Amino acid sequence: MSAMAPEQRLQRLGLVLPTVSAPRGNFDAYVLDGNTLYLSGKGSPLRNDMVVVPKVGREISADEARQHAREVGLQLIATMQAALGDLSRVRRVVKLLGMVNATPDFMQHTEVINGCSDLLVEVFGDAGRHARSAVGVGSLPRGFAVEIEAVVSIKD
């Protein structure tokens, strides 16, 4: 039996990829260098109902931030699609760097970034397993609760 394509897995999961937005600055959303695709950091979607910056461990819970990380994962996959045209070209997600805008005493960074990691494995299977860092930061651009960047190995 052949493996299910990532696009089929997305459909089976009922997930729709968001539109890839242009970067807000003098950088690219991605850089394809040989067989390596570098994805710029993507942030959690801004919430219109948020009147303050969503600090994880204060304004939002680890579970809510985990959902933010999952949404960031969808943005990363959408960027892969835009860069490659076909998600089946992904050989492997190699590395993630996940940043969590958290209070100083917050210690569940790993659980938050699992939202993205779990999604990548759901969509890409074993090719979605990756090395990873999950760190807490004092702030993130545009009031993001979570920002994640990725390195992806691609097939010719």
H helices present in 1-156, as ranges: 6-12, 62-84, 109-124
The reply to whether 133 falls in a domain is yes
Task: Answer whether residue 97 is part of any domain.
Answer: yes
Torsion of CA 33, 72, 100, 45, to 10 degrees: 130
Q: Judge whether 91 lies within some domain.
A: yes
Question: What's the pTM?
Answer: 0.94
pLDDT at residue 143 in the model: 84
Predicted confidence at residue 51, as pLDDT, reads 57
Domain presence at residue 42:
no
CB 39 within 8 A of CB 96: no
Whether residue 146 lies inside any domain: the answer is no
Residue range of the domain that includes 62: 28-33+55-137
- Number of structural domains the chain divides into: 1
CB 143 within 8 A of CB 106: no
What is the predicted pLDDT for the residue at 145? 93
Instruction: Count how many residues are written for the chain.
Output: 156
Residue 18 lies in a domain: no
For residue 137, give Cα distances in angstroms to 55, 67, 147.
Answer: 10, 18, 10
Q: Is residue 80 part of a domain?
A: yes
CATH code of 114's domain: 3.30.1330.40
- Terminal-to-terminal C-alpha distance of the chain: 23
Residue 62's pLDDT is: 97
Residues of the chain scoring pLDDT < 50 = 1
Structure tokens, 15? 């997930």
Residue 7 lies in a domain: no
Please list, in sequence order, all residues whose beta carbon lies within 8 angstroms of the beta carbon of residue 50, skipping any fewer than 6 positions away: 59, 143
